[in-house]
């Protein structure tokens, strides 16, 4: 079955450490996204990529980095510069969004929960 | 500023009763509107969307939503709630006509609790 796989499901980090969250999709989608979810705050966009080797900052990119070397993969690194990294992280993908097709539906992974010790 | 509001943090409904989860938006132009559902510790699942046309949109699991342009609302409804409908529901909007691709604006979510 096609879908998005996020790993690990749970991750613990010590302060000062960088951690990388994996996101892999087999839906042949061009666009991929990373969201952060905090209780009562909805979803906030961290980074997005419309095509391989290109990505853009979202609303809360500070302290995060991404790469898009393959169409199927969009890993997120939470760096030590992110002061409050404890959150639930969601990866999503969709067909490439053009101005005339903004109604593309996002498919989400099951999420990764990061806790800073 | 463009935004989406879900005015209720939680909605409580008895099983078998109709349910409504409210959503209002403030965006420029004609928006694309979505509802997603999230079960505990899972990703979001798409329920339905409004692009254009009929104001009443039917989606998955018996849910429907009504687009009201004059009230800038897109409330989610179901005629008869099930205990299994208990989850977190998100309204999202994307302004039409270009701009940042894929940058959906999400509401803060409404927790639906359906009691037997």
B101 neighbourhood in chain A, CB within 8 Å:
31, 48, 50, 96-98, 102
Q: Which residues fall within 8 angstroms of residue B53, CB to CB, at 6 or more apart? A: none
Contact assignment for A90 to B44 by CB distance below 8 Å: yes
Mean pLDDT of chain B: 91
Instruction: Tell me if A106 sits within 8 A of A33, measured CB to CB.
Output: yes
A55 neighbourhood in chain B, CB within 8 Å:
none
Span A40-92, pLDDT tens digits: 888 999 999 989 999 999 999 999 999 999 999 999 999 988 889 999 999 99
A40 neighbourhood in chain B, CB within 8 Å:
9, 108-109
Q: Which residues fall within 8 angstroms of residue B28, CB to CB, at 6 or more apart? A: B2, B95
Number of C-beta neighbours around residue A1 at 10 A: 3
| Whether residue B100 has pLDDT greater than 80 | no
Residue B103: Cβ-neighbour burial (10 angstroms; 0-12, 13-18, 19+) = middle
pLDDT at B40: 87
Number of C-beta neighbours around residue A85 at 10 A: 21
For residues A76 and B35, give the distance between their C-alpha atoms in angstroms, rounded to a whole number: 26
The closest CB to that of A45, out of B95, B103, B107, belongs to B103
pLDDT at A101: 57
Contact assignment for A42 to B90 by CB distance below 8 Å: yes
pLDDT at A98: 59
**Which comes out higher in pLDDT, residue B4 or B98?**
B4
**Which comes out higher in pLDDT, residue B113 or B104?**
B113
| Whether residue A102 has pLDDT greater than 80 | no
B104 neighbourhood in chain A, CB within 8 Å:
45, 106
The closest CB to that of A111, out of B42, B46, B104, belongs to B42
Which phi and psi angles does B18 have, rounded to 5°?
Answer: -70, 150
**Which comes out higher in pLDDT, residue A73 or A13?**
A73
| Whether residue B99 has pLDDT greater than 90 | no
Contact assignment for B96 to A102 by CB distance below 8 Å: yes
Mean pLDDT of chain A: 91
C-alpha distances out from residue A29 to A58, A79, A93, A104, B28, Å:
19, 27, 6, 11, 28
Can you tell me whether residue B62 is helix, strand or coil? Answer: helix
pLDDT at A113: 95
pLDDT at B53: 85
CA atoms within 13 Å, Cβ hemisphere of A43: 27
| Whether residue B94 has pLDDT greater than 80 | yes
Label residue A39 by pLDDT band (50, 70, 90).
confident
Q: Average pLDDT in the B1-26 region?
A: 95
Chain A residues with CB within 8 Å of chain B CB: 4, 6, 31, 33, 40-45, 48, 50, 56, 58, 90, 92, 94, 96-99, 102-111, 113
Label residue B97 by pLDDT band (50, 70, 90).
low
Q: Average pLDDT in the B47-53 region?
A: 91
For residues B113 and A11, give the distance between their C-alpha atoms in angstroms, rounded to a whole number: 29
**Alpha helix (H) residue ranges in B16-113:** none
């Amino acid at each position: 079955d096609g879908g998005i796989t996020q790993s690990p499901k749970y991750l613990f980090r010590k302060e000062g450490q960088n951690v990388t969250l994996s996101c892999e999709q087999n839906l042949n989608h061009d666009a991929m996204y990373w969201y952060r979810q905090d209780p009562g705050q909805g979803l906030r966009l961290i980074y997005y990529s419309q095509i391989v080797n290109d990505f853009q900052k979202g609303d809360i990119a500070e302290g995060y980095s991404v790469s898009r070397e393959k169409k199927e993969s969009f890993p997120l690194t939470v760096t030590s510069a992110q002061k409050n990294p404890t959150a639930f992280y969601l990866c999503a993908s969709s067909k490439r969004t053009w101005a005339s097709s903004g109604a593309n539906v996002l498919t989400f992974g099951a999420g990764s929960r990061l806790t800073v010790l | 500023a463009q935004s989406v509001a879900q005015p209720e943090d939680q909605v409580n409904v008895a099983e078998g009763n109709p349910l409504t989860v409210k959503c209002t938006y403030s965006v420029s132009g004609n928006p694309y509107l979505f509802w997603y559902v999230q079960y505990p510790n899972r990703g979001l699942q798409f329920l339905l969307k409004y692009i254009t046309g009929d104001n009443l949109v039917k989606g998955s699991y018996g849910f429907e939503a009504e687009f009201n342009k004059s009230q800038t609302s897109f409330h989610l409804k179901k005629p008869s709630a099930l205990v299994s409908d208990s989850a977190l529901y998100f309204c999202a909007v994307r302004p039409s006509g270009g701009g940042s691709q894929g940058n959906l604006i999400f509401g803060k979510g409404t927790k639906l609790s359906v009691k037997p």
